[in-house]
Amino acid sequence: MLKPQLSKHFQDRVPSPIRLSQIEFSKRNDKVYAINSAIGDVSLPMHPAMTKRMLNLGAEESPFKNGIVRYTETTGTEEAREAFKNFIKASGYNTDGLFVQVTEGGSQAMELVIIGCCGEAGKDEKPLLVLDASYTNYTSLAKRVGRKIVSVSRTLNENEKFSLPDLDEIRKKIDECDVSALVVIPYDNPTGHYCDHETMVKLAQICVEKNIWMISDEAYRELYYCDEKPSSIWGITEKEVPGITGRRISIESSSKVWNACGLRIGALVTDNEKFYEQSVAENTANLCPNAIGQYIFGALAHLSIKEIQEWFEKQRNYYKHIMFDTTKNLRKLLPGVIVSSPEASIYSVIDVRKIAKPGFDSKDFVLYCARKGSVDMNGKKMTLFTAPMAGFYNSKDNNPGRNQVRIAYVCPPDEMKFVPELFEKLFRDFESKRQ
């Protein structure tokens, strides 16, 4: 009997590179223990104010004390919106004139931004411009909603820094492709690169010059490990870039700085009232964000600026030591490997182009680790999850991601200490079995 057909989009869909290892490993039947550094799934506890609300949903002051969970406003509760404004203020930025829409994680905010800024492929096509290597979900979500992504490439140099694209190259791509918006990730996922204020200003000037939207993904704002000040789209002033007001959008998240990945609370913040109104109108089809998640996150609306800044500092200190130790030991165990310097966010890119045999493919290596890889570490069989970087580049030919994987510094310290040796041994095992 004939069966209904899947859509072409579903037929062509493959798992995200950040979930690939987990999916493949679930098919194994042995007792190998996996350390998952493929995805930014933070293992730290939430802020105590959030934890208190989560553990006391039945308290007298809780809106859920009677077991009733109703829809909230599509924009999100006033308290959750104020929580996002509160920690933008704590970074030193003025929130006057900003419109906040709470979303189901930063991912939904990304999707709304793509729908709101970009024309449909093949019709009024006006694509989104990203800086490769770029967070893979931008490409996936653009495909889902029938929009197009174009990119300008960055290179991981032997000095272990990602180069920024030439500004004139960005201008050229905007003109050639009739780009509608530029995405910047100041605390970059996947590269760990830090985009300072001076660079943000230069990119903002291009957006004004070319009359396009400037989108800043600020999920990792305040997670930086270099001698700089916080960088944000909200730190760009009208004096520095006349005309920037009204074209700015930031994507916010509770996942990373606040250690609440599974809460799935994010936000779209803009200084363009019309964009905000239409984004809310679009999202009425989704009714509202997670009501319980908003309540838990909303506790941050009542913290002082000092309390929030102390939390930022605590998170930075935690990650800084893990990141620096891991990158140092990787370079020591695998001479010639290139590991991107951890300047920001919670990721590094490992590039094996100088030490791998010809024909190395990071996806094959990742699948080997997930399906077969096993290393004896202190009497325990272990393997390691990483994310193949090819999916973070939009280029089809000579994709540098074939020699690269991304690691996330999210596992507890007693697991992260195994990552350099695990990677080294799994890499050598993989290479020894490859022709």
- pLDDT, one tens digit per residue, over 215-242 is 999 999 999 998 888 899 999 999 999 9
In the three-class reduction of DSSP (H, G, I as helix; E, B as strand; rest coil), residue 214 is classed as strand
What is the structure's pLDDT at 192?
A: 92
β 265-270/99-104 pair status: antiparallel
* Residue 183 binned pLDDT confidence (cut-offs 50, 70, 90): very high
Give the chain's mean pLDDT: 94
Averaged pLDDT for residues 51-64: 95
Give the DSSP H/E element, type plus range, for residue 320.
Answer: helix 305-333
Write out 359-393 in H/E/C secondary structure. Answer: CCCHHHHHHHHHHCCCEEECCEEEEEECEEHHHHC
- pLDDT, one tens digit per residue, over 244-282 is 999 999 999 999 999 999 999 999 999 999 999 999 999
Sign of CA dihedral 170, 225, 236, 258: positive
Say yes or no to pLDDT of 69 above 90: yes
Q: How far apart are CA 341 and CA 44, in angstroms?
A: 23
Residues β-bridged to residue 168: none
* Residue 122 binned pLDDT confidence (cut-offs 50, 70, 90): confident
- Which range, of 19-23, 87-91, 405-409, averages the lowest pLDDT? 19-23
Q: How far apart are CA 304 and CA 294, in angstroms?
A: 19
Say yes or no to pLDDT of 397 above 80: no
Are 195 and 233 spatial neighbours (Cβ–Cβ below 8 Å)? no
Question: pTM of the predicted model, to two decimals?
Answer: 0.93
Q: How far apart are CA 151 and CA 140, in angstroms?
A: 14
Domains of the chain: 9-45+308-433 (3.90.1150.10), 48-303 (3.40.640.10)
What is the structure's pLDDT at 259?
A: 95
What is the structure's pLDDT at 148?
A: 93
Q: How far apart are CA 433 and CA 226, in angstroms?
A: 40
Rounded to a whole number, what is the largest CA-CA distance in the chain? Answer: 68
DSSP conformational letter for 96: T
Give the DSSP H/E element, type plus range, for residue 427.
Answer: helix 419-433
End-to-end C-alpha distance for the chain, whole angstroms = 45
167: Cβ contacts below 8 Å, ≥ 6 apart = 202, 203, 206
What is the structure's pLDDT at 402?
A: 94
Angstrom CA distances, 83 to 89, 132, 226, 270, 305, stand at 10, 32, 27, 15, 11
- pLDDT, one tens digit per residue, over 313-372 is 999 999 999 999 999 999 999 999 999 998 999 999 999 999 999 999 999 999 999 999
Q: How far apart are CA 279 and CA 113, in angstroms?
A: 8
Q: How far apart are CA 212 and CA 174, in angstroms?
A: 9
Q: How far apart are CA 188 and CA 313, in angstroms?
A: 18
- Which range, of 17-26, 102-111, 307-316, 366-375, averages the lowest pLDDT? 17-26
Averaged pLDDT for residues 43-57: 96
- Nearest Cα neighbor of 107 from 261, 309, 1 is 261
What is the structure's pLDDT at 292?
A: 97
Question: What residue type is 33 in one-letter code?
Answer: Y
Averaged pLDDT for residues 286-307: 97
**289: cis peptide before it, omega within 30°?**
no
What is the structure's pLDDT at 378?
A: 81
338: Cβ contacts below 8 Å, ≥ 6 apart = 156, 158, 160, 350, 351, 352, 353, 354
Angstrom CA distances, 23 to 198, 385, 390, 421, stand at 41, 11, 18, 23
- pLDDT, one tens digit per residue, over 131-144 is 999 999 999 999 99
Question: What residue type is 350 in one-letter code?
Answer: I
Alpha-carbon 382 to chain mean position: 27
